[in-house]
Structure formats: structure tokens, C-alpha cells
Chains A and B, each alone.
Chain A
Amino acid sequence: MSDENMLKVERLTKTYASQAPAGALTVLREVNFSLPAGASLAIVGPSGSGKTTLLGLCAGLDTPTDGKVLLAGADLGALDEDARARVRNEHVGFVFQNFQLIPTLTALENVLVPVELRGESGREAEARELLARVGLGERFEHYPVQLSGGEQQRVALARAFMNRPKVLFCDEPTGNLDGETAAAMAELVFGLNRERGTTLVLVTHDLELAKRCQRIIRLKGGAVISDSQTETP
């Protein structure tokens, strides 16, 4: 991997064993791409095309059946689950379609989790600043259940940037939001991405959103059917 490549995927294949007569199910086959630091990539495709599986493998949430993922210089396949967790904690941020805030923590506490996991303290001011940056300066002590969907997703975004990630993985970040909120959210994602020089990997159905990335990979039946650069910088 060249030094500029923040993420490199080689011949990535994922197969699930199955009891069904059809036998094993291959959800991803021979996917290759690499992404330089600071770049943005959208992965698009119909339901069941393997988008989320590809995202999970790139983020080290799962292990491939075959192939290799190099993330921030680390060969994820050579690491055990705990070592992959450390890589995620140090280099990766996540935004999920269904927000995935921890319901028992306040907005502020949710944002602080990644740094507290590392044993760091004294970063509360930074967390407050991030929350203020996403427009939640008045909602620090609110629990997820007390926030609207858009607000929850903004907390998730603040959390994702809290550990100053090198790569931000977003899984349908606007999928559960209405049009207006989704547009505001997209602004925040791309704005923060630019500000902080983060590499962005985005899984989405929303082609408009995908077009805001520098590159789009289309998946179908687990295979890459196109890999194109967009006009948007």
C-alpha cells in the first residue's frame, strides 16, 4: 500500500455457510479498490448487493472469507478481534442508519465514549464543542429518547468525529431522516469531513448523496459493476 492509501481492499470475498440446498452464499466476491487519505467514496447498489457487508469488512467489523483489507496501514486480517477494536478506536468513526446511540447515556456521554474507552479524560470541552458544531449546544444532558431522529444522528456524527478518525464510515446516514433533515445532515457530514481531512466511506441508496463523493462504486450481486469518479470535488 502506498502511503497515501488510507484504505486498500484486495480481492475481498465473503461467503456465508448455509444449510440451504443451494449451499454456501457468497455475498461479496473479489472486490478491489484503494482510497487515498482525505478522499470520499460512496458505495451504492440495490438491497442485498453486499454494500453493508463491504462496509463492515472495510471497518474491521468482520473477517473476510478471502482477500485483504489494509486500513490506515494495518492489515486487518492479521489482527485478532481485540486488535481490530483498537484500530477502530484509534482510526475509525461510524455513523449508522439507525443512529445507534447508547440509550442509557446522555448526548454528551455518548460523544465521550470513544475517548473514555482509551482511558483519556479531560476532553469534555471538546465534546461540547463538537455537539455545538452540529447544532446541539443546548442538548448535552438529553438522553437519546428525548431527541428527534435528526438530533440523534447529529449526536452520532459528533461521536464519530470525537476520536479524530482517519476514516469515517457512514451506513445510510440519512436513510431514516426526512428530506430537509437529511440535507442538513449531509451538509454536516461533508463539512466536517472537509474540515478535518477525514477519509469518507459512505454506503447509501441516495444517488444525490453519493454524487457528493469523489468516487462511486456500484455493487450488484456482491461484485463491483462500476467504479467511477464524480465531478464533485
Chain B
Amino acid sequence: MNFILKMAWRDSRAARRRLVLFSLSVVLGIAALVAIGSFSANLRVAIDDQARGLLGADLVITSRQAFLPEVTAHLDGLGGEQAREASFSSMMIFPSPEGDRTRLVQVRAVEGRFPFYGEFQARPGDAPAQLAAGGPVVLLEETLLSQFGLKTGDTVRLGRVTFTIIGAVLKVPGDSVAITQLAPRAFIPLGQLPATELAGPGSLVRHRIALKLPPEVDPAAVEREMRQKFITERMSYDTVEERKRDLGRVLENVNGFLSLVGFVALFLGAIGVASAIHVYIRQKITTVAVLRCLGASARQSFAVYLVQGLGLGVLGSVLGAALGVAVQLALPAAMAGLLPFDVDFFVSWTAVARGMGAGLVICVLFTLLPLLAVRRVSPLVALRAAFADRPARPDPWRIALGVLLVAAIAGFAVEQTRSLVLGLGFTSALAAGFAVLAGLAKAVAWAARRWLPRGLPYVVRQGVANLHRPNNRTVLLLLALGLGTFLITTLYLTRTTLLAQIQGTGGAGRPNLLFFDIQDDQIGPLNTLLREAGHPATQQAPIVTMRLRSLRGQAVEDLLKQPENRIPGWTLRREYRSTYRADLTDTETLLSGEIVPRVAPEEEIVPITIEEGLARDMQLQLGDEVEFDVQGVAVRTRLAGIRKVDWQRLQPNFFIVFPEGVLEEAPQFYVAALRIDTAADSARLQQAVVRAFPNVSAIDLTLLLETFDTIFGKVALVVQFMAFFTVATGIIVLAGAVLTGRWQRIRETVLLRTLGATRRQLVQIQLVEYAILGVLAALVGCLLAVGGNLLLAKFVFKTAATPDLLTLGLAVLAVSVITLLTGLLSNRGVADHPPLEILRQET
């Protein structure tokens, strides 16, 4: 053992700098794993510490309808404290000397001492108390104040009431910051709601009761009892435990995803290490042979280099862990705005140990692959180098190690994703990417050997020859750079696809402004206003609310109580907002059955059409009978047709469509959509509409785009942060690979110089080699990214992928330039070595 350690240390003398560089290849991967793992532990602790503050209450019950008296009576019987809230989207008017401005906000009319746990953070600190005191006051989202240049004491209008701003909302327990991007919050006292006249019929009000239960009452038990007792009521329940579980699950998913990205970096680094060790061991074959001649056993000589490999892995792990902890410090800033709670920084030693462990295991497994060759070095090589090239029979250890490696990667992926399918999918995808790149590299080397025209200048031929000569780095470099390019480019392409999807929603001529909550008596005047403003509604639809009474003759109550019922409860309990019309819109296609345009008022069973997904969920066939409760009136219908709906357009779409002639007399309200080309016109029109009809709300496609870009920007920052590790690893692996081959280059360069090559020619040869490698890696990485984007678009986002030639072009350019620069920098000085120095070392 003593000899092994001593020999390993002494033998590493001349190569220590190189070995440290090899270990750097895995540093970033390990750093990523440690940073993510430790930060996740921070998040878990934050969730546990702030568990009650996550919800602000013991139990929160939400309903789309006002709570039934039986429900409130039941809740009153529980004891404890209650806080109520009614929330809905509405247009807020910001008076200004240049004309009023409007913005969709989320009105939160509150009453009671919410939150019971955690803190309602606002500026000034006493603003929540002022809000609780009542009166026409409003607490606005901080971003709204800055967007409209407002301050405390200014006024805004909601419906018929003018409210005085009492401060800015900073943080409310249970609210996610990302959600508030779309509709900033506006807190008003619940007592002021009726006066605004905004919460009339047709407005989508969400009612909420938050409960602080007596200590002896178990929130989960209350939830179970109420679910049973009010089975037909569409109410959702939220407890601290559920919120914790949900958040934990999201966290695990994000953690799993980020860890996989980190793992890709580690994987790339490990390939780099394996490749470098491969070259290193080739240089050590004579030393091993001499040791064998002097009496070292195969195990001893193997152990000498295994110790070096282990040392390299340990060094990489320690450096990686240290860097990971440093990176962890930066993560809360990168993730700020995505998290609904505060996170305290601490180092999770478990995460550090796990990251280091994963790094060490992967690094050592990859190192072992080339190291196994040491066992088979014949002592005869000391006598004659030609013996080193004798063909070897397949090594069962090598095969076993390969299997172990794949198992370790799959095991890690399954553990991170907590899903066998996803984990194995990731491993397969990695293997596929690996196979494509490795296959391409081999093809390039083969093609370079076979088809290189003889007429090309010498420097080009020599540069290309470097791609296929023995010990070339083509496969490794194409893998490292190609995978890195693939990951990052996919990220950018996906962003473009998603943005294009939203933009396409309002593409050429399609509606991009939607007015909703229009009352029956407002639709006429509103249409007049729109026409006079020069932007008539291109589409409008009446909406009649209704609930399901029975399905194929079975009452909904009975269906819900049947344990064997497989129809999702939400489809049975929900309030349907249906419309009536004679034909299909341009976002719909009829899949089966027929459209009955109009029926006589006395028609007993009304032929309706249902959206395909809902029909499938409700297990409905054409001809099945469905009975609705249309605001107290029973209406029997039958399924006459099934429609496919493109939900991704900003225009009114419906689950259930009635023919004309039935619902015209039912209480109803409207939505209207139109196309408006400039943002200024859109703002002016929204202001005019809201001034005339304060209860009408508008949603603007531009707003959606802005929101998406803000949220995506934050997510992208995190992903880019992670992708950076992959690319940086790629560059380190590249530098490592170039330096590994440097000795060989120096000898060649010396020979070429002795034969009369100029420095310029030598640099040109390198230039050709790295330019080809860089461009190829970039092209293949981009090609894989285009494929990845296509698959993501088709299967995940259900949209068409958008080609983004600019991104692709930039990626090819950037990767090629980076490769070229790294290659040239790593090789700098090679041409400066005096030939004599090398020739002397040769002896």
C-alpha cells in the first residue's frame, strides 16, 4: 500500500497540473449538483418553518358561488375565527390629467383578521390595519404604483367607487408572486364591494373563507367531513399540509429537472476525464511495463493509477462542492420572484455529501474505463514498444463496468426525477444524443480520411487529417460541445416557440382584445361604442350559466356518491358557461354528429354540441341525454355533435353550445372580441369602454405576452444559469483535451518546423482543425436542438415549432468562435518550443 501511494504521488509529478485540469472537468457538474441540492434543502426548511404562513390559515375553502347558508352554518359551528374574501378580475381606472388609464387587476375584497399566521406585508406597515378598518380605501400591488406613478393618498376607481390608495402590497401569505404578474392585486374592504356594482351576476367571483380552527380541531378531518356532507357543492379545500405537499412536489420537480441539467454537466465532464485519462494512460504504458518487469503485480500497477484517478475525483469533488456552496449563495437572487416565501441560506451538508458522492462515483467509474487497460499492459512492452499494440481479447471487467455505468446514470436519473419512466427516458435521450454525436464524429473522421481532395493546400489537409489520425479528439470534442450547444439552443428555441404561440394567438386579423362581464343590457350600447370608435367587435357571444342536473338519466348527486363512478367530479359539479348559436366558429371543427342550428321553443329535448375533451371525460356518446339546471329551470338535452376547439385563441370558446331558440330568454351576459392594431388605440378603447361600463373587463394580448416574457425571463434565468455549467464544462473539457494532446502536437510541430514549416502555417493548421470541429459541433448541436424543440412543441406545448434562424445562426457562430479561441489559446506556445528541447526529451 505504501508503495502504491508513494508511487502514485511520485508518478504524478510531471502531470499534476494536467491532472488538476482533468479534475476541473467535473468540478462544474458537481458544483451544480451541490448548489441545487443545498438550495433545495434551504427551500424545504423554509417551507417547513413557514408552513402555516404558506396558507395564512388552518383551512381555506373556495367556491365559485356564494356559500350556501348550510355551509356557513356548518363553519360557524366549528368555532375559531373566520376571514372572508371575494375576488375577481376587473378593470381599474387610474385618473390622470392626460386622460384616464386602465389596467386589469385582481380585486380582493377582504373582511376579517386574515392572515391568521404569517404576515400581511405592506408599505406603510399599518396599511393592512387601515384596510381592516373599512371605508373606500385600496391597497395596491407595488408594481402598479410604480407603473402608473401613484403614491399613497392618490385615488383610483373600481366600478362606481373611487378608492383612496393607502399603501403598497408587498407579500401576502399564500400568494405566489408569479401569478400576480398577470393581474396585480388590489385589496379593498369587503363592505365596499356592493357599492362598486362589479360583483353582479355573470362576474366570475371567487368566494373564499379562511379559518383559524380551535387547536383541538383537525383541519383535515373538517375537510373530509365537508367533502362528504356537501358532495354536490363545487368547493375546493386547502390545508397547510396540502399546501406543503403541493409546494414540496413542485420543488422536487424543479429540483429534479435542475439536477438533471447539472448531471449532464457532470456527465460531460466525466467523459472529458475518461478521455484525458485514456491519453494519460497511453503515455504511461512503458512506465507500467517497467514496473511489471521490476516485479509489480497487475493489481499493484493498476492501483497506482487508480489512486491517481481517485485523487483526481476527490479533488474535483472538493473543488466542486466549494464552488457549489458559493453558487448556492447566488441562487436565491436568481430565483427571487418565483418563490412565495423567504429563504434563509445555509449549507446542507447532506446535499454537499450527495453531490460529492455522485461526482466521485461517476468520475471514478469513468476513470476506471481507461484505467482497466493498465491491468493488461505486458511487461514485454519494456523490451519492445510494438508489443503494446497486440490485439486484446474482450475484457469482461470492461463490459461489467460499462453496464455499471449505465445503471449508475439511470439510477441517478430515476432518483432525481422520482419517476422510472422519466428517469429511463432521460437516460435514453442522453444515450441517443451521445450515439448521434459519437456516430457523427466517427463519420467525420472516416469522411475526412476518405474524401479529402488531394488538391487542397497543405495546411488544410494537415488540419483535416488531425480529425482522424490516431488519438484524435474528434469524438470527445463533438460530444462535449455538441451536447452543450444542444441544451442551450433548445432552451432558446423553446422560448421563441412559446412566444410565437402566444403571438400567433392574435396573429393576422385575429382578435387580440377581449371584453368580458358585459351585462345583457350593456351589449347594445357597447357595440355602438365600439363601432363609433372604429373597432367593431368581430366576435361576440352570449353566456348563460348552468349546472348539470343529470347524465343519461342519473342524477349528479347519485353519480358523485357512487364509488365506481369514473367521471371526474369537476365535470359534474362545475358551473358551465354555455352559449347558443347556429353554427361553428373558425376555432371549431365538428368531429362527429351534427350541428342543429335552431330549434323551436317547444322542443322537449334540445340537441347540443360538446367539446371533445369534456365529452370524453364525461364518457358521453352521441345521442346521450344530459339535463341542465339553467338558473332554476330544467332543460333536457341530447348530445347531437362533438366539436374540437382550438383553445389557444384569444376569443370566446365554449364547452357546451346550444342551438338558437332555447336560451334567449335566460339571464345572460356577453363577451366580445375584436382586433386592434396599436397599443395606444387599444389603451384608448379600453379606457372608453371601462368609463362607460365600469363592470366590463378587458384582457389584452399584449398584457399576456408581457406576463409570459416576465415569467419566462425568470425561469430562463435559472435554466441559463444551469446551462452555463454545461457549456463551461464543455470549454474546460475542450481545453483539457487540447492540452492532453499538446505533447503530441509539440513533437509534430517540432518535426514540421525542422522540415521548414513557418509559424503562420502551424497556426493555420490548428485553425482549420478547430474551425471544423467547432462548426460541426455547433451544427449538430443545433440540429439536435431543432429536433428537441420540435418534440417539445408537439408533445409538451401542443403547438407548432417556430424556426428561429437568428438563434441558430448565433449559436453556430458563438460555438465555433469559442471552440476556435479555446483551441488556439490552449495550444499557444506550441510553435515556440525550440526543436532541440524536444529532441533531447525524445531520447
The complex places the Cα of A102 from the Cα of B2 at a distance, in Å, of 18
CB distance from A128 to the nearest CB of B (A): 17
Task: Say whether B13 faces chain A, with CB atoms less than 8 Å apart.
Answer: yes
Task: Say whether A8 faces chain B, with CB atoms less than 8 Å apart.
Answer: no
Q: Which residue of B lies closest to A52 (CB)?
A: B383
Within 8 A of B (CB), among A86-122: 86-90, 92, 94, 96, 100-105, 109, 113-114, 116-119, 121
Given A52-B383, A149-B843, is A117 in contact with B10 using a C-beta cutoff of 8 Å? no
Given A59-B293, A82-B297, is A119 in contact with B383 using a C-beta cutoff of 8 Å? no
Q: Are A116 and B6 in contact, with the CB atoms below 8 A?
A: yes
Residue in B12, B300, B379, B384 whose beta carbon sits within 8 Å of that of A117 in the complex: B300
Map CB proximity to A onto B1-29 as digits: 1 under 8 Å, 0 otherwise: 01100110011111100000000000000
Within 8 A of A (CB), among B293-308: 293-300
- Residues from chain A with a CB closer than 8 A to the CB of B379 are 56, 61-62, 85, 88
Map CB proximity to B onto A117-136 as digits: 1 under 8 Å, 0 otherwise: 11101000000000000000
Task: Say whether A1 faces chain B, with CB atoms less than 8 Å apart.
Answer: no
Q: Are A82 and B384 in contact, with the CB atoms below 8 A?
A: no
Task: Say whether A55 faces chain B, with CB atoms less than 8 Å apart.
Answer: yes
- Residues from chain A with a CB closer than 8 A to the CB of B473 are none
Within 8 A of A (CB), among B504-520: none
Residue in B6, B287, B292 whose beta carbon sits within 8 Å of that of A102 in the complex: B287
Q: Are B287 and A96 in contact, with the CB atoms below 8 A?
A: no
Task: Say whether B380 faces chain A, with CB atoms less than 8 Å apart.
Answer: yes
Task: Say whether A184 faces chain B, with CB atoms less than 8 Å apart.
Answer: no
- Residues from chain B with a CB closer than 8 A to the CB of A78 are none
CB distance from A164 to the nearest CB of B (A): 13
The complex places the Cα of A55 from the Cα of B71 at a distance, in Å, of 99
The complex places the Cα of A121 from the Cα of B298 at a distance, in Å, of 22
The complex places the Cα of A85 from the Cα of B294 at a distance, in Å, of 7
Q: Are A81 and B294 in contact, with the CB atoms below 8 A?
A: no
Q: Are B296 and A85 in contact, with the CB atoms below 8 A?
A: yes
Task: Say whether B416 faces chain A, with CB atoms less than 8 Å apart.
Answer: no
Q: Are B293 and A61 in contact, with the CB atoms below 8 A?
A: yes
CB distance from A54 to the nearest CB of B (A): 11
- Residues from chain A with a CB closer than 8 A to the CB of B147 are none
Task: Say whether B841 faces chain A, with CB atoms less than 8 Å apart.
Answer: yes
Q: Which residue of A lies closest to B15 (CB)?
A: A104
- Residues from chain B with a CB closer than 8 A to the CB of A96 are 382-383
Task: Say whether A183 faces chain B, with CB atoms less than 8 Å apart.
Answer: no
Given A55-B383, A100-B286, is A88 in contact with B378 using a C-beta cutoff of 8 Å? no
- Residues from chain B with a CB closer than 8 A to the CB of A159 are 294
Task: Say whether B247 faces chain A, with CB atoms less than 8 Å apart.
Answer: no
The complex places the Cα of A121 from the Cα of B384 at a distance, in Å, of 31
CB distance from B750 to the nearest CB of A (A): 16
- Residues from chain B with a CB closer than 8 A to the CB of A94 are 293-294, 382
Q: Are B383 and A171 in contact, with the CB atoms below 8 A?
A: yes
Residue in B3, B287, B289, B384 whose beta carbon sits within 8 Å of that of A119 in the complex: B3
- Residues from chain A with a CB closer than 8 A to the CB of B15 are 104
Task: Say whether B523 faces chain A, with CB atoms less than 8 Å apart.
Answer: no
Task: Say whether A225 faces chain B, with CB atoms less than 8 Å apart.
Answer: no
Q: Are B299 and A82 in contact, with the CB atoms below 8 A?
A: yes
- Residues from chain A with a CB closer than 8 A to the CB of B296 are 85, 89, 117
Q: Are B298 and A61 in contact, with the CB atoms below 8 A?
A: no
Q: Are B287 and A103 in contact, with the CB atoms below 8 A?
A: yes
The complex places the Cα of A100 from the Cα of B288 at a distance, in Å, of 10
The complex places the Cα of A159 from the Cα of B13 at a distance, in Å, of 20
Task: Say whether A25 faces chain B, with CB atoms less than 8 Å apart.
Answer: no
Q: Which residue of A lies closest to B287 (CB)?
A: A102
- Residues from chain A with a CB closer than 8 A to the CB of B383 are 52, 55-56, 61, 96, 171
Residue in B7, B378, B382 whose beta carbon sits within 8 Å of that of A100 in the complex: B382
The complex places the Cα of A86 from the Cα of B7 at a distance, in Å, of 18
Q: Are B287 and A114 in contact, with the CB atoms below 8 A?
A: no
Task: Say whether A145 faces chain B, with CB atoms less than 8 Å apart.
Answer: yes
Task: Say whether B132 faces chain A, with CB atoms less than 8 Å apart.
Answer: no
- Residues from chain B with a CB closer than 8 A to the CB of A82 are 297-299
Given A59-B293, A88-B294, A89-B294, is A104 in contact with B11 using a C-beta cutoff of 8 Å? yes
Q: Which residue of A lies closest to B12 (CB)?
A: A104
The complex places the Cα of A105 from the Cα of B6 at a distance, in Å, of 11
- Residues from chain A with a CB closer than 8 A to the CB of B840 are 145
- Residues from chain B with a CB closer than 8 A to the CB of A100 are 286, 289-290, 293, 382
- Residues from chain B with a CB closer than 8 A to the CB of A88 are 293-295, 379
Q: Which residue of A lies closest to B11 (CB)?
A: A104
Within 8 A of B (CB), among A153-182: 159, 163, 171, 176
Task: Say whether B688 faces chain A, with CB atoms less than 8 Å apart.
Answer: no
The complex places the Cα of A5 from the Cα of B455 at a distance, in Å, of 66
The complex places the Cα of A88 from the Cα of B289 at a distance, in Å, of 13
The complex places the Cα of A65 from the Cα of B293 at a distance, in Å, of 20
CB distance from A154 to the nearest CB of B (A): 15
Q: Which of A's residues lie within 8 Å of B, judged by CB?
A: 52, 55-56, 59, 61-62, 81-82, 85-90, 92, 94, 96, 100-105, 109, 113-114, 116-119, 121, 145, 149, 159, 163, 171, 176
- 4 smallest CB-CB distances across A and B, nearest first, come from A89-B295, A82-B297, A61-B379, A88-B295
10 A-B pairs, CB-CB below 8 angstroms? A59-B293, A61-B293, A86-B295, A87-B295, A88-B293, A92-B295, A119-B2, A121-B2, A145-B840, A149-B843
- List 16 other contacts, CB 8 Å, given A81-B298, A114-B295: A61-B379, A61-B380, A61-B382, A82-B297, A85-B296, A85-B298, A86-B295, A86-B297, A87-B295, A94-B293, A102-B290, A103-B14, A109-B10, A116-B3, A149-B843, A163-B295
